[in-house]
Amino acid sequence: MYCWDNPAVPGSRRDVFLSETTLARKERAVKYVSGTTPFQPSCPDAFSRPEFGGTFGNAANCRLLVFLLLAVAALPSLGFGQTNQTGKIFGTVSDNSGAAVAGATVTITSPALIASQSMQTDEQGAYHFELVPLGAYALRVDQPGFSKFLRQNIQITAGFAAEINAQLTVGSIEQTVEVSAAGPVVDTTSTQINTSISSNMLADELPLTRTTKDFVTIAPGVTPSGAPNLSGGDVPSASFSAYGITGQSTMLIEGINTRKSSNSAEGDIDFPTLEEFQLVPTAGNAEVETPGLYINAIVKSGGNQFHGRAEYTQETDALQGDNITPYLRSHGVTSAAGVTHVEDIGANLGGPIMRDRWWFFVGGHGNFDHQRQVGFVDASGAPIIQGITSSNWTGKTTFQLSKNYKLIGFWTRDLVNFPLRNGSATTPLLSTVLYHEPVEEWKGEIQGTVTPHLVLDFLVGHHLYQADYTANADPQNIPSIRSASGFVNGPTLGQDKRARRQTQITGSASYLPSRSFLGTHEFKVGYTWMFMWTGTNEPLGIHGNYQLQFDANGAPTQINVYNYPITENREDLKDGGIYGQDTWHVSKRLTLNLGLRFDSYIASVPKQSQPAGTFGGLCNSAFCTWVQSAPGANIWTGAARTYPYASSGSWTGYAPRIGAAYDIFGNGKVVFKASYGRYDWTPGDDFASPFNFNQVTINSYRWAASTGCVPGSVNNGGCAAVINVNTPAGPGNICTFAVAAKAGCDYVPGTVNLDPNGPDHQSTQGGNNGAGTKLANSMLNPKLNEQYSNVVQGFLEAQVAPGVAARVGVTYVRNVDTWLQTPIPCSNATASNPCIPYSAWTQQDTFLNLGPSAAACQVAPVNKCPAGASGTPFTVYDLPNGSPYTSALYSTTQYVNTPGGNSNHVTTYEATVTKRSTAGGKWSVVANFTAIRDHNWLNTGTANQGQQPIATNPNQNYFPLDMSWNWQARVTGNHRLPKNFDFAATMQIYNGIRRQQLESVSGLNAGTIVLPVNVYGDITGPVRTLLNVRLSRDFKFEKRGTLRPTLELLNITNSSSVWAYTTSNSSANFYNVSTITPPRIARFGLVYQF
């Protein structure tokens, strides 16, 4: 062990770490330093100092620690393994002749280490450091008879294995050979393809709004989930798509999984508190469970020196452009999105509680955002301002128990308040919700090096999520209404009170044998078990538990009745897996990555109760208790019920991973990487909801009227949608969407037969957020196989210049046995769960497609088209009049596996160049181009109303495939200018939004049918672009930190790229724009850090 006496601080003694200003910066330059040296022998071990009570790492304490580690390891184990929170440094030490030097002392030092780490080389001259915290490192090699070897500026990113080989020269111990080459940028051992963003880029260089949705767009192959956010106010939830895989993503913060359902990540991040943000689009190693985007956020850890940061930014509409174009006006946009005023403030502080022993890091962040959405206006046409408030709080502590063991504690909380959520051109003020969501994570972790060959890591963590939606009051007495053209009005029925909880137990052990066998090996085994549950309760609706539905022209079609209240809804999932992997160095050039996972999923519905109410179509279940609410009445209710525990299925799967990395020239600069892996899909914590009888159920009944029909007093849904039930239907006496939106008409109790097995019943579905989603009343499928993806990758990766890496490659993904919820197949039907045969859809109605701007009209068997109408005819298949299949008895659904011939597969081509920021370097950049070829079966509905890979009726055979090409190009970088100026920019280009024209046909015996009339991608919007720039200047004050004013111009070209359209159904509003890139705006900021 050696110490460094810092001349800048008299009397100071620290473990060796040379400032980068002392390093030679010429590539491969070798400097001989003779005579005096800053390294002095006999540095006291920090853990044997008197102030620490003598030698901490004694045998008794070590035995106690090992016992605690083994106790944690004995907990139930299986699931998603923690991965890539650290890196490693390895290599060999040799002499001038190339012979291995055994017994040499290798030491690594860094501000990221509480204490330096040392080890001796083995008989082959090899050394390795595992669980290396992220940061910049110096490596020194000492051996009597040789000059000291020193290598600086070794940058360790998440999961990166830096190979540093040292060749010693004969000389005295007072001499030092300093190799000043840039650190390696190509990982010669791992086949995992990823993008890592450093803390400096996250906080000071990228001109992006600091939300997870925006930062993930930096990674090659990742498709944004929506329009860019230029203000920071947002809901902390997103579903990501990468390399053609949508959903099945994982977002870790400090190793804690924050996945929501099977396809989303929940919670946002205070990005200036991060040490690194890593993105793996797909094909992770055996530690990674699912095939989707893997997000890995690692928080800073403090340090032996106090350091902090405070930042304030502001945006105002006084410095905002106007990007409404003729194209947007022609697509229904009259008022643009944008901000009126935004303030963002944040601060963090880290340092020692006890130097060389105990560190802390804390941070806080608040965003106060006032914005407007496209078309969200009041009655006068003036924009309605939405106020969003979000905050983050973060704390982390690291305690070095001894030289070989440390404890890590972490906690974070994210809170969002969004009073007018969902406001848009189709959702007026009354139909918005007050949204309140706290998200919280915490963990306790212990890491230990038991021996130089055995490293352990164990973690216990928790994730909490609570989303509450509250509807607005209804002073005008407007019912909840929805039209097929996408417009709604009245108070929403989606007043979800949704909770999610997850407790996670994770552990891993890495073992590096001292002996070689057909090469050297690095073994790792690990596990994670996640105990997850979620539940969504629903209160009574503000204006009753029903919604009136209209066609695209505003004519009444049906009434949807909700079985509220829901008070004890809950579903459980145990999601886990164990894995083992071997990094097998077959030769100096060839490394094999061999791994195997075993995944397990157990879904269930715990015991719960349901109050009396309109339960919905469950009369084919053992819990059917339907009775008329009163003799002769047309409302059917059920008694209060308690449902017992029920299993919803369990699945297991073995997932092999095989990869090879070949160093083509043996110099670590050009590597070919190829891999194959199977990746199991998680069913999601809410998978069991269709098997939960205490679930939202929506029954649809006929509610219509035509001129001349005479309303009945009861049981006549075909003539119930009138304003006055005492006069015949006709002009002025039909309840249209426009009349209902002004509180001019409503459902009249007693005019529709609400018997779920009666003549007015049309369909049954399940839902939340006030909309149909997963179907309720599903039957378990004992033959349901685990779903998974096969992923194959091939990449060529090369260091083309110091600090510059380039890669090109292809990724092929094929989804196998994908789960699909459909009306129960007749092959699986039973007497109590009957099916609707495909052959039952015998009634053929002919409609005319009048184009995207007008709703289709019926020409046969009854001509309802206006005189002179012309268009392309298409056939809609319906259940015949009097068909028994419209009864709720036939509402049973089932999950089935998609047939192999209908499996989705996607091919992605990628080219990426990365220039890493290095000490003394002036610029960094990430540039990439990605092209994605889809072959996906469209799935637009869970019942008979939309496209599915498995057709349960003839309508689902129309244009069922998406075979479009999608592409994207991105450049992100910064350049350090003279006079301490810094310039950064990010440019993003994407293909236009692809869609197809859908026709929504209402008033059928089977309810509403939605079907496409052209190929997906025939309708394509304009190319989407975004260019942000940032200029800053550092004012450095000696010993007092740095002050940095910043100016950012976001969307500097004032692009009005379209990210979403109002509706996919033909109507006067078809293809109206609903979301665009916000207009150009300037953001001013001020940063102080020390």
The CATH code of the domain that includes 358 is 2.40.170.20
Q: How far apart are CA 73 and CA 78, in angstroms?
A: 11
DSSP 297: E
* 377 part of a folded domain: yes
pLDDT digits (tens, 9 = 90+) for 876-925: 999 998 898 887 778 788 899 998 888 899 999 999 998 877 656 688 88
Q: What is the dihedral of CA 848, 851, 852, 853, to 10 degrees?
A: -100
Looking at 413-417, 483-487, 627-631, 724-728, which range is the least confident one?
Answer: 627-631
Looking at 69-73, 202-206, 1079-1083, which range is the least confident one?
Answer: 69-73
Q: How far apart are CA 964 and CA 986, in angstroms?
A: 27
Query: Percent of the chain at pLDDT above 70?
Result: 85
Q: How far apart are CA 682 and CA 788, in angstroms?
A: 9
Bridge partner list, 432? none
For the segment 307-319, the average pLDDT, to the nearest whole number, is: 94
Q: Among the ranges 274-283, 642-651, 890-899, which has the highest mean pLDDT value?
A: 642-651
For the segment 667-681, the average pLDDT, to the nearest whole number, is: 95
Residue 447 pLDDT level (bands cut at 50, 70, 90): very high
Selection from 661, 658, 520, 521 nearest residue 590 by Cα: 661
Query: Percent of the chain at pLDDT above 90?
Result: 46
Q: Which residue has the higher pLDDT, 340 or 516?
A: 340
Q: How far apart are CA 653 and CA 596, in angstroms?
A: 10
- Residues 6+ away with beta carbon under 8 Å from 967: 929, 930, 931, 932, 990, 991
pLDDT of residue 542: 92
Please say whether the beta carbons of 857 and 850 come within 8 A: yes
Q: How many CB atoms lie within 10 A of CB 985?
A: 20
Assess whether the previous peptide bond of 861 is cis (omega < 30° from 0). yes
Q: Which of 144, 179, 214 is the last residue of a domain?
A: 179
pLDDT of residue 289: 93
Looking at 57-61, 86-90, 260-264, 885-889, which range is the least confident one?
Answer: 57-61
Give, in degrees to the nearest 5, the angle at Cα 718 between 717 and 720.
Answer: 55
Q: Which of 126, 158, 179 is the last residue of a domain?
A: 179
What is the overall mean pLDDT for the chain? 83
Give, in degrees to the nearest 5, the angle at Cα 157 between 151 and 163.
Answer: 45
Q: What is the dihedral of CA 935, 940, 942, 943, to 10 degrees?
A: -120
pLDDT of residue 906: 94
* 676 part of a folded domain: yes
DSSP conformation letters of 981-1003: EEEEEEEEEEPPPEE--EEEEEE
DSSP 66: H
For the segment 687-701, the average pLDDT, to the nearest whole number, is: 85
The residue range of the domain holding 643 is 297-697+783-840+879-1089
Please say whether the beta carbons of 1078 and 338 come within 8 A: yes
The dihedrals phi and psi of 690, each to the nearest 5 degrees, come to -65, -15
Instruction: Give Cα separations from 628 to 546, 637, 756, 761, 1029 (angstroms).
Output: 18, 6, 11, 15, 67
- Residues 6+ away with beta carbon under 8 Å from 736: 550, 554, 555, 556, 745
Please say whether the beta carbons of 297 and 393 come within 8 A: no
The dihedrals phi and psi of 484, each to the nearest 5 degrees, come to -65, -15
pLDDT digits (tens, 9 = 90+) for 610-634: 887 665 444 444 545 556 666 655 5
pLDDT at 180 over 80: no
For the segment 942-958, the average pLDDT, to the nearest whole number, is: 77
pLDDT of residue 633: 58
- Ranges of beta strands (E only) in 555-589 are 556-562, 571-585
For the segment 553-563, the average pLDDT, to the nearest whole number, is: 90
pLDDT at 246 over 90: no
Q: What is the CATH number of the domain that holds 118?
A: 2.60.40.1120
Q: How many CB atoms lie within 10 A of CB 830?
A: 11
Q: How far apart are CA 265 and CA 296, in angstroms?
A: 12
* 733 part of a folded domain: no
Q: How far apart are CA 1031 and CA 468, in angstroms?
A: 40
- The answer on 456 and 600 residing in a single domain is yes
pLDDT digits (tens, 9 = 90+) for 796-841: 999 998 889 999 999 999 999 999 888 888 989 888 888 999 999 9
Looking at 534-538, 675-679, 710-714, which range is the least confident one?
Answer: 710-714
- The answer on 1042 and 915 residing in a single domain is yes
Q: How far apart are CA 549 and CA 479, in angstroms?
A: 11
Q: How far apart are CA 75 and CA 65, in angstroms?
A: 16
Residue 224 pLDDT level (bands cut at 50, 70, 90): confident
Q: Which residue has the higher pLDDT, 1002 or 985?
A: 985
* 277 part of a folded domain: no
Q: How far apart are CA 597 and CA 788, in angstroms?
A: 13
- Residues 6+ away with beta carbon under 8 Å from 778: 690, 691, 821, 892, 893, 894, 895
Looking at 138-147, 552-561, 918-927, 1058-1067, which range is the least confident one?
Answer: 1058-1067
pLDDT digits (tens, 9 = 90+) for 1010-1020: 888 889 888 88
Residue 75 pLDDT level (bands cut at 50, 70, 90): very low
DSSP 202: I
Residue 230 pLDDT level (bands cut at 50, 70, 90): confident
Tokens 């020390």 locate to 1090
Instruction: Give Cα separations from 1074 to 391, 552, 994 (angstroms).
Output: 28, 17, 15
* 561 part of a folded domain: yes
pLDDT of residue 2: 30
Longest alpha-carbon distance in the chain: 110
* 993 part of a folded domain: yes
Using DSSP, state whether 1035 is helix, strand or coil.
strand
pTM for this prediction:
0.83
pLDDT digits (tens, 9 = 90+) for 82-127: 346 788 899 999 998 889 999 999 999 998 888 888 999 988 899 9
Using DSSP, state whether 955 is helix, strand or coil.
helix
Taken as a whole, the chain contains a residue count of 1090
pLDDT of residue 1023: 95
* 445 part of a folded domain: yes
CA 833 to chain CA centroid, Å, is 37
For the segment 142-155, the average pLDDT, to the nearest whole number, is: 89
Q: Which of 136, 151, 179 is the last residue of a domain?
A: 179
Please say whether the beta carbons of 702 and 721 come within 8 A: no
Count of structural domains, the chain: 2
- Numbers of helices and strands, H then E, in the chain: 5, 70
For the segment 1035-1041, the average pLDDT, to the nearest whole number, is: 88
pLDDT of residue 72: 36
pLDDT of residue 852: 77
Residue 496 pLDDT level (bands cut at 50, 70, 90): very high
pLDDT digits (tens, 9 = 90+) for 4-40: 333 333 333 323 222 222 223 233 233 323 333 333 3
* 738 part of a folded domain: no
pLDDT of residue 215: 82
Please say whether the beta carbons of 211 and 228 come within 8 A: no
CA 1044 to chain CA centroid, Å, is 32
User: Regarding beta strands 195-198 and 274-280, do their DSSP bridges make them parallel or antiparallel, or are they unpaired?
Assistant: antiparallel
Residue 950, H or E segment: none
